[in-house]
Amino acid sequence: MEKHYKFSIWYVIIAIWGVFLLNNLIVSSYGPKNLPYSDFLTALKNGEIVDVAVTGDVISGTMKTTDKGEAKDVPFVTRRVDPSLSDELAKYNVTFRGQPESTFFRDLLSWVLPILLFFGIWYFMIQRMNPGGGGVMAFGRNKAKVFAEKDIDTRFTDVAGCDEAKDELKEIIDYLKTPERFQVLGGRMPKGVLLIGPPGTGKTLLARAVAGEAGVPFFSISGSEFVEMFVGVGAARVRELFTQAREKAPCIIFIDELDAIGKARGMAVMGGHDEREQTLNQLLVEMDGFDPRVGVIIMAATNRPETLDPALLRAGRFDRQVLVDKPDVAGRLAILEVHAKKIKLAPEVDLSVMAKKTPGFSGADLANAINEAALLAARRDKQAVDMDDLDEAVDRIVAGLEKKNRVINPKEKEIVAYHETGHAITAHFTPGADKVHKISIVPRGIGALGYTQQLPTEDRYLMTRSELVGRIDVLLGGRAAEDIVFGDVSTGAHNDLQRATDIARAMVSEYGMGKTLGPATFPRQNRPVFLTPEQAPLAGREYSEATAARLDEEVKAILDDRLERVSTLLAEKRPALERVARELLDKEVLDDARFEALLDMPKDSGSDS
């Protein structure tokens, strides 16, 4: 491994002392003879002084001397002494000389300390500009974290819920372990493997598990770490990264959030980002340039595959794409079992029930739910985590933090109770709607005054028109209940109306389920594959104003028709609506068993029977 040496101020101090010592050595060995002033006066009287130069108290020059019978001129230097004192000293034959005042510390303070101060300021500024160390020349170094094979303890057993992705990646592990098995048939492994999927599904964890199973070094870097404020730095870091990887081959290079540098060229609104495009170009060149037999596998992860440059995805670069999707019910159970090993569960805990209650959860969401349940149990001084803690943890993630101290006046609380009861009863009597699991009027999150939780009986990947219409009915149930009971509506249905409108518009413009336009579709442009509509950028439309007016009319017709159907249903179920709402006002939270029991009561029964 390459050694990196750090700058130390002690190096400068030692060098300065060395210069001082060398100077004294040269002066004492090869400099002019230091002559006592008394000897200078004697030599002057004897006519042995050839010439002199007087500078203040210092007298320098040459004098005649004899060395082994040969006369020659020798340079000398002396310091003048006060004339009156020198006469008195000469009268008594005393040898005297002028001693110069020591200026070492004065010289040190006058020029050595400013130099040290300059070096200190320079070093401080370089460290602030490049906290990673290495000075100015380190801007081009890559910031990849290098993990030796012994430092990676992640294995496939630590990754659950993505069995298909693991099967695809096992070939990579076999190739890194026994490349000759594939090369004997003339085959080659793909140069790049792109992991695509929604956020939190374990793409980075899966890449670490591949490196851990293969037992090879692992280079991990984020796409955003390539690009800096200096032009050319990103390309230099790409070159150095691949150079280091070749030296440590076989190994794995993992680039997280590849879309940070891999966006399609020419997509920028203001004419492009030259530095990012240079970095992408260098990455493309490096992926083409290295020999696949070397044993360097490039893995990358992104949740925005639709924005990547086509040159990255062509054969010979990232030619294998592995989908790491959100887990199904079996995958969620496996993930929960992996994370539950780290906490103490009560004997009655059934993780399969929790797996069914968490449709749409990613691996990160499930890990967070287990951790939240453990924190809740610890806060309540429990000896183990039970189902109540797990249910509360899921509610916190889905609906937000419970706001028990929020004061709601009785009138608003009654409106919320009937609103949520309208959702629940509509869901119960609507074919194809998900089953009601819990009703609550306890405020949660930022603005939720209550919520009705529905759970699907199984994982679904397709939805029919009747099921979409059923979802619209459930969303409109709260507003219809308010109108029936109070003869007025509130702002609490704002989000329900927005979601219902989105579903109706998608039915007409994207799914070809409208009556007016038939199978014609007008989908939104550049819609992200794995991000939610709230995270997606706004897109323009590709149809005329006349078509837009027809779409608006049909969306309104769908919503009006469904609202009329829901209002009729709730008017017929008015006694059940009253019973459930009154019970909800009393208990604040109803589970599915109590809700269904209230629906099955005779019309003349009370809520406390």
Q: Cα–chain-centroid distance for residue 571?
A: 51
d(CA 317, CA 283): 10
How far, in Å, CA of 252 to CA of 193, rounded? 10
The two structure tokens encoding residue 223: 């796409």
Q: How far apart are alpha carbons 17 and 23 in whole angstroms?
A: 10
What is the SS3 string spanning 117-138?
HHHHHHHHHHHHHCCCCCCHHH
Task: Walk across the sheet containing 70-79 and list its strands.
Answer: 33-34, 70-79, 58-67, 49-55
CA 335 to each of CA 250, 263, 354, 360: distance values in angstroms, whole numbers, following the listed order: 30, 32, 11, 13
- For CA atoms 177, 183, 188, 191, the dihedral sign is positive
Q: Choose the catalytic residue: 225, 286, 420, 482.
A: 420
- Token pair for residue 116? 């040290």
Pairwise CA distance, residues 601 & 609, whole Å: 9
SS3 for 322?
strand
The Cα 188–Cα 522 span in angstroms is 43
| 280 touches 244 (CB < 8 A) | no
Is the distance from CB of 226 to CB of 330 less than 8 angstroms?
Answer: no
Residue that the structure tokens 């609104």 belong to? 269
The whole-angstrom separation of Cα 448 and Cα 399 is: 8
Question: Phi and psi at residue 352, in whole multiples of 5°?
Answer: -65, -35
Token pair, residue 200, equals 């939190």
Say whether 458 is catalytic: no
Which sequence positions are flagged as catalytic?
420
